[in-house]
């Protein structure tokens, strides 16, 4: 029994700020606050904790409203002000039998009252809704409260599985007239919408842009083209196409002239520009049969001069066509990410074919990501075009190319093309390969010269054979040689090599006995370390 008044070793550890910081990094902060008063105090003093006060209306029926109202009123009087820095509000579909307007009124009351009471404290405001009539209350809050807002995130989610109140959701609202309260501290605006942006929402968003002259990072949904005349510090712009939209719908909503106008206003400011689309495996299946040759695509051109642009990402190359890169207009470009969303599109290959034909040389480029390029002959040209490349990511998940044939972008071809690429430090490959383990191991071993320059190698093999079995004696010897050759790198991750538990034990013992760092190797299914899979 410890002497009275003496602090135990456990208590000392739990009250040590250095130890606690490491615990908080790895644990849910919401639960950590409940451990003790000291932990709660420490969590609340941490910057950027991502803790948000959830103001979602939780009543299950209109009869529950009075009880929730009393709890909410008590919350506003007892809440620690530090928890009001970040608020999250959600207005979702009303329960069956409750009229939507009776559901929105409590939501608007709670949100407005909270923002009024903690107006000067709120710094981050996140709101998600699926009713257009929610907009007036959001508008009033932005017009009158929260002058110190730093980040504003808004999401319009449309649930088409229940159309009982569809007319109410899409009700045409009166124009929301501004201006809003000036927000010089607002630097981040993120807007996401599952459907076409309605005029009332577009109007509200434009008012937010007008009232926020110091915006630096903006994400806008497809079909919204803001006027950035008042934005003088915008460095990052992201245009997102949601997963619900078909290519036909996307092309109808695309207005190249309007988008060009928005980009031209901030083209000389942008450091990052992204055209982001959903994963092509998440798109509706009807898109797979879409014929791009019959589309009315308008070739999109970047602003003539983007002297500060360092990162350009276009994962919608089959929608935003630009078959050439203007080197003169992008002198500072360091990172390029190119991809497509339709399997039948060959725009990615065409872009790099034109780059090779024009013999472009991008000296400033350091990072390159290419999704769904299927012509292996283009790989050699990349060395000439990007001589100073440090990071290369190639993702060719589709085993069938745009011609309907099996792709030739396999592991052997890609690794062979990367040999001799001076300066390349990071290589990430995601390739289809249905070869047995021994072929994969042999391919990796045959390109061992490549590892002398690399610092990081990550490989994910898309394959159909998931059989686990013992490695043969020859395969085991080959695998050991491969590990020795790869040991010169700082990190190695190889997914989807399937071997038995017995073989994994042997490989682990070999690594330990030879003084190799097990933690820097992530191999076998899921990319976990040998020890994790035993």
DSSP letter string, 264-313: HHHTTT-SEEEEE---TTTS-GGGGG--GGGS--------S--TT--EEE
Question: Average of pLDDT values for 172-198?
Answer: 83
pLDDT value, residue 103:
54
Question: Average of pLDDT values for 59-75?
Answer: 51
Domains of the chain, by residue range, sit at: 23-52
Q: Please, which pLDDT band fits residue 305 given cuts at 50, 70 and 90?
A: confident
- How does pLDDT run across 452-479, given as a tens digit for each residue? 889 999 998 776 556 677 888 888 999 9
219 has pLDDT over 70: yes
For 188, the 3-state DSSP assignment is strand
The rounded distance, in Å, linking the Cα atoms of 185 and 168 is 35
pLDDT value, residue 236:
97
Q: Please, which pLDDT band fits residue 161 given cuts at 50, 70 and 90?
A: very low
Q: Please, which pLDDT band fits residue 435 given cuts at 50, 70 and 90?
A: low
Residue among 426, 427, 444 nearest 435 (CA)? 444
Q: Please, which pLDDT band fits residue 73 given cuts at 50, 70 and 90?
A: low
250 has pLDDT over 90: no
pTM of the model: 0.82
- How does pLDDT run across 86-135, given as a tens digit for each residue? 888 877 655 555 555 555 566 777 788 788 888 998 999 998 877 666 78
For 133, the 3-state DSSP assignment is helix
pLDDT value, residue 59:
47
Q: Distances from the Cα of 256 to the Cαs of 203, 252, 262, in angstroms?
A: 20, 11, 10
> Residue 324: exposed, middle, or buried by beta-carbon count in 10 A (0-12, 13-18, 19+)?
middle
pLDDT value, residue 102:
52
- How does pLDDT run across 488-500, given as a tens digit for each residue? 999 999 887 778 8
Q: Name which of 50-59, 130-139, 331-340 the model is least confident about.
A: 50-59
Percentage of residues in the chain having pLDDT higher than 70? 69
Mean pLDDT taken over the chain = 78
pLDDT value, residue 86:
85
pLDDT value, residue 533:
40
Which residues in 75-92 are b (16+ Cβ under 10 Å) and which e?
A: eeeeeeeebbbbbbbbbe
The rounded distance, in Å, linking the Cα atoms of 283 and 316 is 13
412 has pLDDT over 50: yes
The rounded distance, in Å, linking the Cα atoms of 525 and 500 is 11
The rounded distance, in Å, linking the Cα atoms of 350 and 324 is 9
Helices (H), 275-425: 347-357, 378-385, 411-418
- For the chain, first and last CA: distance in Å? 41
What tokens does 181 get?
A: 């309260």
pLDDT value, residue 284:
46
166 has pLDDT over 90: no
Contact 396/431 with Cβ under 8 angstroms?
A: yes
pLDDT value, residue 333:
92
Enumerate residues 6+ apart whose C-beta is below 8 A from 500. 468, 469, 470, 471
Half-sphere exposure of 487 (CA within 13 A, CB side): 15
Question: Average of pLDDT values for 306-316?
Answer: 92
DSSP 8-state code for residue 47:
S
Torsions phi, psi of 190, nearest 5? -125, 120
Half-sphere exposure of 153 (CA within 13 A, CB side): 11
Q: Distances from the Cα of 304 to the Cαs of 260, 263, 266, 444, in angstroms?
A: 10, 10, 12, 43
70 has pLDDT over 70: no
Torsions phi, psi of 202, nearest 5? -60, -40
Phi/psi region, residue 385 (left: phi>0; alpha: psi -120 to 50; beta: rest), is: alpha
- The residue that leads in pLDDT, 73 or 171, is 73
Q: Please, which pLDDT band fits residue 150 given cuts at 50, 70 and 90?
A: very high
CA 303, 309, 310, 316 torsion-angle sign: negative
pLDDT value, residue 53:
65
pLDDT value, residue 265:
94
167 has pLDDT over 50: no
Helix (H) or strand (E) holding 391: strand 391-395
Enumerate residues 6+ apart whose C-beta is below 8 A from 32. 23, 24, 39, 40, 43
- How does pLDDT run across 353-363, given as a tens digit for each residue? 888 888 888 88
Q: Please, which pLDDT band fits residue 531 given cuts at 50, 70 and 90?
A: very low
Beta pairing partners, 456: 426, 491
Contact 513/484 with Cβ under 8 angstroms?
A: no
Rg of the chain, C-alpha, whole Å: 28
Enumerate residues 6+ apart whose C-beta is below 8 A from 395. 339, 369, 370, 371, 372, 430
Helix (H) or strand (E) holding 368: strand 367-371
276 has pLDDT over 70: yes
Q: Distances from the Cα of 298 to the Cαs of 165, 292, 418, 482, in angstroms?
A: 37, 12, 35, 49
Residue among 160, 171, 313, 162 nearest 245 (CA)? 160
Q: Please, which pLDDT band fits residue 487 given cuts at 50, 70 and 90?
A: very high
156 has pLDDT over 90: no
- The residue that leads in pLDDT, 42 or 225, is 225
Contact 317/370 with Cβ under 8 angstroms?
A: no
- The residue that leads in pLDDT, 49 or 210, is 210
The rounded distance, in Å, linking the Cα atoms of 43 and 32 is 8
277 has pLDDT over 50: yes
Percentage of residues in the chain having pLDDT higher than 90? 27
């Amino acid at each position: 029994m410890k002497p009275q008044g003496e602090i135990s070793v456990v208590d000392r550890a739990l009250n040590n700020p250095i130890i606690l910081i490491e615990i908080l990094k790895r644990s849910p902060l919401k639960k950590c606050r409940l451990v003790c008063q000291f932990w709660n105090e420490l969590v609340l003093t941490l910057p950027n904790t991502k803790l948000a006060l959830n103001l979602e209306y939780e009543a299950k029926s209109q009869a529950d409203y009075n009880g929730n109202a009393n709890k909410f009123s008590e919350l506003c009087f007892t809440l620690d002000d530090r928890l009001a820095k970040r608020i999250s509000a959600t207005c979702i579909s009303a329960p069956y039998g409750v009229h939507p307007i009776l559901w929105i009124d409590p939501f608007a009351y709670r949100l407005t009252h909270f923002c009024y009471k903690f107006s000067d404290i709120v710094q981050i405001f996140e709101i998600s809704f699926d009713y257009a009539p929610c907009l007036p209350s959001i508008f009033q809050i932005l017009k009158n409260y929260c002058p110190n807002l730093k980040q504003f995130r808004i999401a319009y989610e449309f649930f088409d599985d229940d159309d009982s109140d569809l007319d109410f959701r899409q009700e045409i609202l009166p124009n929301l007239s501004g201006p809003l309260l000036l927000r010089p501290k607002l630097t981040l605006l993120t807007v996401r919408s599952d459907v076409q942006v309605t005029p009332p929402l577009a109007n509200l968003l434009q008012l937010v842009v007008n009232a926020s002259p110091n915006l630096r990072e903006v994400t806008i949904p497809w079909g919204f083209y803001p006027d950035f005349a008042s934005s003088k510090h915008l460095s990052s712009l992201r245009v997102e196409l949601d997963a619900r939209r078909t290519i036909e719908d996307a092309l109808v909503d695309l207005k190249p002239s309007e988008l060009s106008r928005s980009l031209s206003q901030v083209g000389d400011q942008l450091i990052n520009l992204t055209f982001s689309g959903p994963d092509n495996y998440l798109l509706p299946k009807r898109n797979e049969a879409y014929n791009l040759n019959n589309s009315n695509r308008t070739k999109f051109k970047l602003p003539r001069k983007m002297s500060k642009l360092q990162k350009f990402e276009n994962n919608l190359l089959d929608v935003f066509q630009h078959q050439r890169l203007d080197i003169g207009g992008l002198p500072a470009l360091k990172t390029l990410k190119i991809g497509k969303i339709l399997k039948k599109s060959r725009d990615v290959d065409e872009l790099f074919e034109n780059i090779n034909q024009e013999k472009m040389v991008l000296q400033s480029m350091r990072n390159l990501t290419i999704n769904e390029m299927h012509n292996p002959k283009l790989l050699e040209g990349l060395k000439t075009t990007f001589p100073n490349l440090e990071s290369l990511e190639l993702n060719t998940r589709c085993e069938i190319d745009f011609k309907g044939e099996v792709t030739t972008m396999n592991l052997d071809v890609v690794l062979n093309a990367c040999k001799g690429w001076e300066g390349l430090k990071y290589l990430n490959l995601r390739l289809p390969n249905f070869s047995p383990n021994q072929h994969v191991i042999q391919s990796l071993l045959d390109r061992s010269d490549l590892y002398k320059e690399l610092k990081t190698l990550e490989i994910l093999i898309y394959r159909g054979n998931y059989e686990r079995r013992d490695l043969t004696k020859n395969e085991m010897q080959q695998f050991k040689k491969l590990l020795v050759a790869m040991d010169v790198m700082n990190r190695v991750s190889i997914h989807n090599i399937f071997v038995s538990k017995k073989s994994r034990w042997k490989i682990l013992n070999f690594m330990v006995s030879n003084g190799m760092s097990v933690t820097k190797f992530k191999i076998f299914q899921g990319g976990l370390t040998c020890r994790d899979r035993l």
